[in-house]
Structures are given as structure tokens and as C-alpha cells.
Amino acid sequence: MKKDLDDVISEIRNHLSLLANEQTKMSGERFFKEKVVLYGVKTGLVQNMAKNYLNELKTLSKTEIFALCEELWKSGVMEEAFIACNWSNALSKKYEPNDFSVFENWVNKYISNWATCDTFCNHSMGSFISKYLQYINNLKHWAKSDNRWVKRASAVTFIIPARKGFFLKDIFELADILLLDKDDMVQKGYGWMLKAASQAFPKEVFDFVCERKAFMPRTALRYAIEKLPAEWKAIAMKK
């Protein structure tokens, strides 16, 4: 027998409230410049919750699970967003092209800090674009957004594929779009993307950075070269 979806959400929220810890909440808030809403539940406990609840909901369709994710995202509470991220990623084998519009809506409407941006985009979005390459160009449009988190999302979606040696041409194109962005969260995002790509293509990333080091923001540059050999880093950092 299927659970009522509203009951599932209420049950999750009650469970999170019971696990909430004020010290954990205060500790978590210190990681963010912007205001975030937290119960104060440790990440490991949230991950276990997500896994256990999803196991109970295995009779639900992907559409129903995504509807639950939407409700969790809507709350604006970090732990609920993490559960939504866990669930959407767990369904990656069932992704279809039209799921892009669902994911894009979540990025535009609900992501408001680096933690939810990176958790969702590293995994769910990264898995999606690895399966449906035609949507990579949509991410280049994200990179031109007025929303700092949408711009960061465009870059951090590539982190895991980049480590595997995929999409280098697109990664460089995206980095060029974001290159002069003044937002430190965007700079760190595309710098991280380049660092991930350097694990498979160190010389190519080194050359890319050196060609742009005169005007590339130092924050992005430092992130990009972090995994490169020390002597290369010294050359890249030299003004």
C-alpha cells in the first residue's frame, strides 16, 4: 500500500526535528556567508534517513519521488534539500530527457547556497549531462545567468565528469564564459571545474590558465592549479 505523499513529508520533518541539535546547527551556519536554514542534523544521519525512506518508497514512480523532492526543496531547509538531492541522484538510471526541465526549475527556484548547489549539481546534474549530452549547451546559457548560483551550477555540474576525462572542450568554453565574473562563488566554482579537469588533462589545463593568467581572477586561478606540479603552479602564479 502506497503512503500518502503529504504523510511522507510530515514524517520526514518530524524525524529531522527529533534529531536536531542546536550545537550542530550553529556549527553548520558558520560555513556560510548567506543566511541558511538548518535543523542541525549531522550529514551522515541525513544521508541514512534519505536512504531508509527511499527504500520504504520503492513502490512509488519517479514522478512521485520527484514530487516529494519538490516539496522538500520548497521548504528552504538544508537537510530537506539534501534528502531531495539524495533521492534524485538515486534515480539516475531512470533519467529521461524531459527531466532536465524539472532539474532546471529546482536550480533556478531553490538553490541559494554553495552546499545545495554542489550536492545537487555534482551528482544529479552531472549524471544527467553524462547521459544526455545535448543538454550541455543549456549549461552554457546558465553561465550567462544573473543568478550567482545558476552560474556556479553550470560549472560544478562538470566536476565528476571532468575527473573522468570527459567534456574538456566544453569545460574550457564554459570557463571562458565565466572567466571574468566578479562573484567569488562563481570564480571558485569554475576554478574547481578546471582543477577537476586537470586530473585527466594537466598540461591542457596548465596551458589554458597560463594563456589567461594576466586577467583571470586570482581566486579562480588558485583553485584551477591546485593539483598541478609545484613548478607549474609557480609559473602560473607568476605575474
Lowest mean pLDDT among 33-37, 74-78, 113-117: 33-37
Question: Do 29 and 120 fall into the same domain?
Answer: no
Task: Report yes or no on 178 lying in a domain.
Answer: yes
Return the pLDDT at 6.
Answer: 82
User: Are 128 and 104 in contact, with CB atoms under 8 Å apart?
Assistant: no
pLDDT band for position 1 (cuts 50, 70, 90):
very low
Return the pLDDT at 51.
Answer: 96
Task: Report yes or no on 86 lying in a domain.
Answer: yes
- The residues near 111 (Cβ < 8 Å, ≥ 6 apart) are 117, 120, 149, 150, 153
pLDDT band for position 118 (cuts 50, 70, 90):
very high
Question: Do 216 and 114 fall into the same domain?
Answer: yes
| pLDDT, the chain, mean | 96
Q: What is the pTM of this model?
A: 0.94
Of 48, 66, 94, the residue at which a domain comes to its end is 94
Task: Report yes or no on 102 lying in a domain.
Answer: no
Return the pLDDT at 2.
Answer: 52
Domain CATH number, residue 46: 1.25.10.90
Question: Do 121 and 155 fall into the same domain?
Answer: yes
| DSSP code for 121 | I
pLDDT band for position 239 (cuts 50, 70, 90):
confident
Question: Do 155 and 194 fall into the same domain?
Answer: yes
User: Are 169 and 200 in contact, with CB atoms under 8 Å apart?
Assistant: no
Return the pLDDT at 89.
Answer: 98
Task: Report yes or no on 139 lying in a domain.
Answer: yes
Question: Do 28 and 69 fall into the same domain?
Answer: yes
Q: Which domain holds residue 188?
A: 109-239
Return the pLDDT at 3.
Answer: 63
The domain tally of the chain equals: 2
